[in-house]
Amino acid sequence: MTLLLAVIVTVIFAVGVYLLLGRELKGMAMGIFLLSHGANLGILAMSGQPVRLTATGPTPLGPPVLTEATQPVDPLPQALILTAIVISFAVTAFLLTLLVATFRRADHLGADELANDDRPTVLTTP
Amino acid sequence: MLPTLPPNLIVLLVAIPMGSAVATTLLRGWSPAQRAVTFLSLLATFILAAIFYLPLDGAGMLVSQAGDWPAPFGISLVLDGLSGLLLVAASFVALAVYVYGLASRDQDEGRGWFHPLYSLLMMGVNFSFLTGDLFNLFVAFEIMLMASYAMMCLGGTKKQLSQTYKYVMLNLVGSTLFVLGAALVYGMTGTLNYADLAVRVAESTMPGGQPLPPGFPAVATMLLFVFAVKAALFPLWFWLPDTYHACSISVAALFAGLLTKVGVYSLIRLAPMALAAPNIREAGPIMTILPLAAGLTMILGALAALSMRETRRILAMLLISHIGYMVFGLAVMTPDALSGALFYMVQHMLVMAALFLGCGLIEHHQRTSDLAETGALLARAPWLGVYFFIAMLSLIGLPPFSGFFGKFLILREGFRLSGQGYWLLSALGLITGFLTLLALARVWGRTFWNPPADRAIAERLPARADAAAWPMRAGLAMLVVASLGMGLGAEFMQNRTGDATRELNHPRNYVAGVLGPNAWPEMTADTATPEPLGPPVSLAEPAAAAADRRTN
Amino acid sequence: MQLTPLALIMMSVFAPAIAGLVTLFLPRDRTTPRTLIALVGLALPVAALLYFAQTLGVGAVEPASLTIPFVPSFNLDLAFNPDPLGMFFALLVAGVGTLIVLYARAYFGDDPDSLFRFYPTLGFFATAMLGVVLADNMLAMLLFWELTSVSSFLLIGWERNDRKAVRLAFQALAVTGMGGLALLGGIILLALATGEWSFSAAIPALAGPHESLPAANLIPWAFALMFLGGATKSAQWPFHFWLPGAMAAPTPVSAYLHSATMVKAGVYLFGRLSPAFLGVDFWAATLISVGALTMLLGAYLALRSTELKKIFAYTTVSQLGLFTCMFGLGAFTYHDEPNLVWPVTQILNHALYKAPLFLMAGAIAHAVHVKSLTGLRGFARTNPLLAWITLAAAYGLAAGPFTLSFAAKEAFLYQIYHAIEHEPLLWIVAGMAVLTSVCNVAIFVRFLTTFLARPDAEHAAEHHHDHDHAHDGWSVWLWLPALFIVAWQFAGGVAPSLIERFILPVETHALYWSHLPTVLDAIAHPSPPLAMSGVAVLLGVLVGVLPVLRRPVADPHDSIFPASVSFLSRTGWGVFSSIQTGNLRHYIYFTLTAFLLGMIAAALKDPAFLEWPALASLWAAPTGFIIASLCLVALVIAASLSLPIVNSRIVRVLMLGAVGMSVTGIYLIYEAPDLALTQLLFEIISIILFLLVLRMIPEEPPLAPVTGRIGRAAFSMIVGLAIGWTVLQAGAHADSSPGPAKLGDWFLTHAHYGSEQTNGRGGGGDNVVNVILVDFRGYDTLGETTVLAIAAMGIFSLIAAVPRRRRDRAHAVNPEWLTSSLLRTSMRLILPLGLLFAAYLFFKGHNEPGGGFIAGLVASVVLATYRMAKGPEALRRLLPIKPGALAATGLMIALATAVAPVAFGLPVLTSRTGDIPLAGADPFHFSTVVFFDLGVLIVVIAVSVGVINRLTEELET
């Protein structure tokens, strides 16, 4: 399972970075959004396998709710992910609004087009 | 005599800004009340921080365990010599910048949202300094950054909006890796609490200790990367130069004073005792990366500053360049060097904020900070000239101004460890000082002395500073006077920073304070740091002793 | 009263600055008291130092007893040491300064503003300079040294409206500032090498055997840096160009700083260090060669200048070169003594003719408004007084017989002569010395011939009408100081004993020459040096009278500074513009490349990182389990891979949603019900947001086709691999047994019931994740809630600050389109049920999946749907409070709950749990954290509903 998660994280980060390297801010925002999924899954991998090999063979663990009979998985990564999800939601919402505002002022959302706005000037004399 | 408060009250340094943010949100549309509340809360934060910090002796610290749960299971807030000093400095800078803003138009931006956001940013900053938990640090960072995102584009102008998205996205990349990195640390060490982490790292190379898994250096590097993004080190500084000239001066000065420092603080806090703890220092790349980053940041930042034409951009690049000094101190990682880095960090907060406020007043008088258009300001605003000159000399690092002392200590340590090649960093540090001098002397000459290039501009300008702007000058004066005090009280400061950093490499007291007595594993020969090579530095000796040693 | 030595020294050093400050408090027009105060400020040190020398003796007092601690932990103390060298310079500084105060009063006339500015700066400088020459602690010396540079900067930039002056001030500060930094480095290295931070301790240590020193290997570097510091300050080639530039300053400044005192600081440093560095083999070579070159170059450029101040400035450069050369020659021995003859006297002698020359230049400019020699034909007739004083001083410049200069020059030539016995190559230096004095003599001859020549008509006329110049009582001080000073030249030349009486106590190396050589001694014992001077005089007169070498030339070195500034700026611009392209794509490339390099470095340092970790077998799980997870993995990968490929924005958003949903599935596999719920709900809201936003940003014209897709894909893949691999390593370790002792295990055991470690107190909840969120790690939750609220604030302020334009309205839609009558009617049912369900989740949260976040999200989704269906009015009726205020309230509740325990002396966030017995039902489990959770709930609702509502309004017509 850890391996599978690692694979997913790899793919998600790769695609996210690919989108981030695009030339169009909406795509980049999607990339960021994707990265947060990748990070969360990475955190999840820290709670170890949800299945443990015991003498009786593989036994799935239970959710971290004490009323359940089974032995629960490590709860802390889940708590961390919850926090991370909320924060990434907040950030995404702001980022999207920022894009709207940027578009209203700049009329385009291409990284290359925006790059030329308001560049500094050089001064070489004492 | 200062009252001694129960340690649990240190949470007020986070709660007061948060409360004032709530209040000012509810008070939106009634700006005088908002200003009063924010000002008072900032003042209270500063006074409280001072009351908490000043009585601390050498190894003293205040710890509050959240929820009354024993560390490392709950989240600990820690106010020790390091975080305490920075809290005092940060809250002072915030107060001064806010006072400046009272008279400027900056605070009317964003339809009353400025004030809550300002408080929330301070909440994030104080939280970052106080927390003793890696993941909680991530949360604190996010509070700070989220507020900064919003403040960066409060004006909603095209100038701001065509830059802010870079700031947001680059920091988001950093944050994503931060949250992942924190979790990876948990996966590898099973803890998130700084002190616990330090203990587990220290034990990892001890007989019977749980060894660190392969890849811990990589995770440490990942976190280093994250903090380096926040601290705007080369080659990760991109978000800073493009944005600091776009936002309003109050925002720029606050950011210049605080944001990057939080990244540096995290490095000073975590690198010596965990990420690059003495016993694993050789196993990881951090001690190779830090000197490179420090040197390149110092020199390239200063060179870039010299080429800029607007004072604001020059200051932004110098800000970056001088972060390099702190990282230099960190890279050497001897107690003295760390103490110098901390000293420099505090004075850099004050001086950088002061210079940005000065730049704001320049723009207030001349409508621009473009060196091709400014001039003859000294006649119009002599006091501004005096303040700017002092701040300038401090940043250049001339004695007896505050900038000299931290720098001196760092350079000395670099030269002392010439054997390990650190002399090169010291040389770069001296050159950086020279480039800083060039850049700022040019600003001074072209802004305060030269006649304005363009007569038309000269006529457009107001004859004298308008009286309404006195809070602006007051805010600037607060910072400059404080930095002067730092220079003249260098001995006091040095003792404080020395105490704060003496044990960063072997945080016995810190760990004991957080986890309880004798939680720190006693160092065996192989885990203790080797004595730093290079000649010992003779400390000042009693005059009499010196005398008779010379006579015989 | 009896003054302690320390008090005397402190008084001498700080009196000028204090007096200068006092003058600032006088009203601007009170010029006379202002002058008198400034005068006291500089006269006091003279008196104090003389008294000190008389009573305590020069160099007799231990520096240790003259120390005021400043920053002991940096070894920076105000320690002073009035030894011969220091005492001599101090008297020179204070003495000349006293006269300059009076001269300035006459020079500036009674222009109150100038005097108001001038005296404080002058006092500031005098204090700094006295500090430099008297300080024993090296860092203290550096401190004063830098202050002299700063004051010189302020004084050169005196004419603020003159761009040229400002630029020259900048140049001077840059050069001397560079020297100061070099000096700092040198001092640190010297101190590290010797372990001493004061001259009085370091120099003996250096003079002794180097084996005993802590780090002798640093000494050459220390020397190199300190030489750089002294050479820049004392205008040695190739840094000499700043000194003639400094002539932009008013004449009193030129006379004082830039000829008599400050520029000698470097020479002072060489004199101070010469005993120490005799061991360094290239000390002598460096000083002699650089000094001699500067000497000759300066003299030549002086000869080729016509402007008075320029001439004097270049001769100053020349003399400074001579002194440097002199201290270099001191490295050789003569009669087993350092080969130094009356060095202090030679330095004094320069002050005794150069200061008057500058003063007279100012006086002449004042009297006849002429600044260049060519304009002064016949000056001796039109203005004999000024002319003859000037000529007397110029005679000193020429080192004519019966002047102190003559003795000094003889001494120098003797010194070379002796040195040649050791090093024949030094004949070259001898030649250069002769050429130098040729130039000096020639300059004097030119002055003489010009002044005595018959005045041209127009000049004469000009002179006469200029004579009615401000002649108040002070104007005598325009020439009186010069006369007073130059008198000493001749006194010293005619009756050396006069000078010797003053000099001997402070003269450092006079031991094997009991007295100064006058011209008579020289003739009495003829020697090669005398012959050299003879030749020099003859040639000099020749060059002076012949019409050769008269056309002024510009010093090519003047372009060094602008060129280097421009070079550095261009370099900086090159660096800046090549990386700071303003293009986010490039920034992300750079950033991630740096990240990759870091990871690679880590892998190189710790190769085990690259080994395949020990993993529990993938197949060690129930089959259904495996199938489910494989399907989900495939789904995630497929969905995310499709993102870059598809073009339609809507499809992309849906694919994004697909990723989110499959991630939810993975959370379920990993036994994380709370996560799955939260993820699901946030996914829904996020997708709504994406769709809203995309609707607001109309499709743009397609961008030019992206090039380099392959490289981009490869790069992304590598980044992904680096991160995935690290995750794999950490995950494998977290999974290994015995893994690290995890906090998580403790949470499992303490979530509900405590242990003795917590005095039996537990979290009191069964849903461990929820207990962690609201209790163990409540700060995280408080923080994330705040972040949520901040995001809302940012969004509201941003939308308000950037209203939509007419063009955007064009894309607006009729709210009717967003909904359907079916939905509107079904709302009547959905709303109450949904809110009820939310409440249920909220209260169950502590023990079962649920809690504030999830409940809040459920409610938000319901309310959002309601708003879509019924429009803003309906929502406002339902939620009358503004979202911002609502979020604030939520935060307040959470904060209050968190901080309340502090009032009871408990730490923040301390919770209390209990069961409230209900008649005939299970006791109702209750915990104080419920309030905290309530705050969270409110914030979540306020933010998500508020934001969706606000953005939807933007879309509606």
- pLDDT given at position C48: 93
For every residue of B506-542, DSSP letters joined together read: S-HHHHHHHH-TT-SPPPPTTTSPPPP-SPPPPPP--
Contacts of A97 in chain C (CB under 8 A): 693, 794-795, 798-799, 947, 951
* pLDDT at C535 exceeding the cut of 60: yes
Q: Which two tokens stand for residue C877?
A: 């009726």
**CA–CA–CA angle C799, C800, C803 (5° rounding):** 75
Cα dist. B412→A120, B333, B425, C215, C276 in Å?
36, 13, 11, 14, 21
| Range of lowest pLDDT (B306-310, C331-335, C368-372, C800-804) | C331-335
Beta bridge partners of C76: C71
Alpha-carbon Rg for chain C, nearest whole angstrom, is: 43
pLDDT over threshold 70, residue B459: no
Distance CA B512, CA B61 (A): 10
Q: Over 80: is that where the pLDDT of B58 sits?
A: no
Mean pLDDT of chain B: 90
**C406-416: per-residue pLDDT in tens?**
988 988 998 89
pLDDT at residue C618 in the model: 65
- Average pLDDT over every residue of B60-65: 91
A95 touches chain C (CB under 8 A): no
At A31, is the pLDDT very low, low, confident or very high (cuts 50, 70, 90)? very high
Residue B1, pLDDT > 70, answer: no
The pLDDT-based confidence of C567 (bands split at 50, 70, 90) is very high
What pLDDT score does B455 carry? 63
Q: Half-sphere exposure of C810 toward its Cβ, with a 13 Å CA cutoff?
A: 7
Contacts of C196 in chain B (CB under 8 A): 538
Q: Which of A20, A43, A126 sits opposite B180 (nearest CB)?
A: A43
In this predicted structure, the answer to whether residue B276 has a pLDDT above a threshold of 70 is: yes
Highest mean pLDDT among B11-20, C206-215, C838-847: B11-20
- Phi–psi pair at C500, nearest 5 degrees: -55, -40
Q: Among B168-172, B428-432, C514-518, C689-693, which is the least confidently predicted range?
A: C514-518
Look up residue C246 and give its two tokens. Answer: 């400094």
Least trusted range by pLDDT, from B31-40, B141-150, B453-462: B453-462
Q: Which of residues 580-599 of C touch B (CB under 8 A)?
A: 580, 582, 584, 587-588, 590-595, 598-599
Nearest CA in chain B to C189: B415
Q: How far is C240 from chain A (nearest CA, A)?
A: 18
Tell which C residues from 179 to 208 touch B, by Cβ distance under 8 Å.
Answer: 180-182, 184-185, 188-189, 191-193, 195-198, 200-201, 204
pLDDT of residue B524: 55
> Which pLDDT score is estimated for C918?
66
- Provide the angle, in degrees to the nearest 10, between the axes of the packed helices A25-45 and B158-189: 10
Asked if C133 and C63 touch (Cβ cutoff 8 Å), the reply is: no
| Contact yes or no for C720/A17 (Cβ under 8 A) | yes
| C784 touches B: beta carbon within 8 Å | yes
Q: List the structure tokens of C338.
A: 């350092």
Cα C762 from chain centroid (whole Å): 54
How close B307 comes to chain A (CA, Å)?
A: 5
Least confident of B282-296, B420-434, B469-483, C501-515: C501-515
**For range C423-441, the mean pLDDT:** 94
Q: How large is the average pLDDT for residues C819-828? A: 77
Tens-place pLDDT, residues C154-213: 999 998 889 999 999 999 999 999 999 999 999 999 999 999 999 999 998 888 888 888
Is the per-residue pLDDT at B189 higher than 60? yes
Question: So what's the pLDDT on residue C811?
Answer: 66
**Residue B456 burial (CB count, 10 A):** 9
More confidently predicted of B513 and C756: B513
Which of B298, B270, B266, B256 lies closest to B426, judged by CA? B298
Task: Report the 10 Å Cβ neighbour count for A57.
Answer: 10
Q: How confident is the model at residue A112, as a pLDDT?
A: 84
Q: Report percent pLDDT > 90 for chain B.
A: 70
For range A82-95, the mean pLDDT = 94
C805 interfaces chain B, CB cutoff of 8 Å: no
pLDDT (0 to 100) of residue C465 = 46
- Let me know if C371 is exposed, middle or buried by CB neighbors in 10 A (0-12, 13-18, 19+): middle
pTM: 0.94
Give the lowest-confidence range in C506-510, C568-572, C796-800. Answer: C506-510
For CA atoms C906, C907, C908, C913, give the dihedral sign: negative
Asked whether residue C706 carries a pLDDT value surpassing 90, the answer given is: no
CA angle B445–B239–B265, rounded 5-degree value: 90
- Helix (H/G/I), strand (E/B), else coil: C77: strand
Residues contacting residue B502 through CB under 8 Å, at least 6 positions apart: B58, B335, B339
* C-alpha–C-alpha distance, residues A90 and C119, integer Å: 62
Percent of chain B with pLDDT over 70: 92
CA B238/CA B229 separation, integer angstroms? 9
The yes-or-no verdict on residue C542 having pLDDT over 50 is yes
Query: What ipTM does the predicted assembly reach?
Result: 0.94
C333 pairs with which residues across the strands? C338
> pLDDT digits over C435-446, tens only?
999 999 999 999
Range among B433-442, C333-342, C401-410, C508-517 rated most confident:
B433-442
pLDDT over 70 at C700, yes or no: no
* DSSP string over B419-454: GGTTHHHHHHHHHHHHHHHHHHHHHHIIIIIS--S-
Write down the mean pLDDT value for chain C: 88
Looking at chain A, how many residues does it have?
A: 126
And the tokens for B324? 């390099």
Verify cis geometry, omega within 30 degrees of 0, for the bond prior to B400: yes
Q: Which chain A residues contact residue B135 at CB under 8 A?
A: 80, 83
Higher pLDDT, B408 or C819: B408
Report whether pLDDT(C104) > 90.
yes
Sorted by sequence, the CB contacts under 8 Å of residue B291 that are 6+ apart come out as B328, B331, B421, B422, B425
Span B295-325, pLDDT tens digits: 999 999 999 999 999 999 999 999 999 999 9
pLDDT for C457-484, tens place per residue?
A: 655 555 544 444 455 678 888 899 999 9
Q: Which residue from B15, B221, B376 is facing C599, i.e. has the nearest CB?
A: B221
- Distance, CA of B332 to CA of B330 (rounded, Å): 5
Query: Tokens in use for C181?
Result: 């930094």
Judged against a pLDDT cut of 50, whether residue B164 lies above it is answered with: yes
Specify the 3-state DSSP secondary structure of C916: strand
Bridge partners (DSSP) of residue B370 are B310
Positive or negative torsion for Cα B278, B283, B287, B293: negative
* Residue B319 CA: distances (Å) to CA of B99, B175, B348, B404, C311: 22, 22, 8, 16, 43
Q: At CA B427, angle to CA B421 and CA B431, rounded to 5? A: 155
- Token pair in block for residue C353: 């003719």
Residue B465 has pLDDT above 80, yes or no: no
Q: Which residues of B touch A87 (CB under 8 A)?
A: 139, 142, 175, 179
Kindly report the nearest CA distance between residue A95 and chain C, in angstroms.
9
Residue C20's alpha-carbon distances to B271, C17, C35, C40, C134, in angstroms, are 50, 5, 10, 10, 20
Half-sphere exposure (Cβ direction) of C21: Cα atoms closer than 13 Å: 6
CA A93 – CA A87 distance, rounded (Å): 10
Q: In angstroms, rounded to a whole number, what is the distance separating the alpha carbons of residues A69 and C763?
A: 19
pLDDT above 80: residue C917 = no
Task: For C778-821, give the secondary structure using H, E and C.
Answer: HHHHHHHHHHHHHHHHHHHHHHHHCCCCHHHHCCCECHHHHCCH
Residue B471 has pLDDT above 70, yes or no: yes
Question: Can you tell me the distance from the alpha carbon of C369 to that of B3, in angstroms, rounded to the nearest whole number?
Answer: 70
Concatenate the DSSP letters of all residues of A33-85 into one string.
Answer: HHHHHHHHHHHHHTT--SEEEETTEEEEPBPSBTTSSSPBPPSHHHHHHHHHH
For the segment C790-817, what is each residue's pLDDT rounded down to a tens digit? 999 999 999 989 888 877 776 666 666 6
pLDDT at B537: 76
Residue B493 has pLDDT above 50, yes or no: yes
**Pairing of the two strands C67-71 and C337-338:** unpaired
Considering only B42-46, C70-74, C360-364, C752-756, which range has the smallest mean pLDDT? C752-756
Q: A87 and B142: CB-CB below 8 Å?
A: yes
Tens of pLDDT, residue by residue over B245-274, are 889 999 999 999 999 999 999 999 999 999
From the list C865, C839, C862, C863, the residue with the least C-alpha distance to C852 is C839
Distances (CA, A) of C864 to C448, C681, C790: 100, 12, 20
Contact yes or no for A120 and B158 at CB 8 A: no
H-assigned helices in C697-777: 709-735, 743-750, 768-771
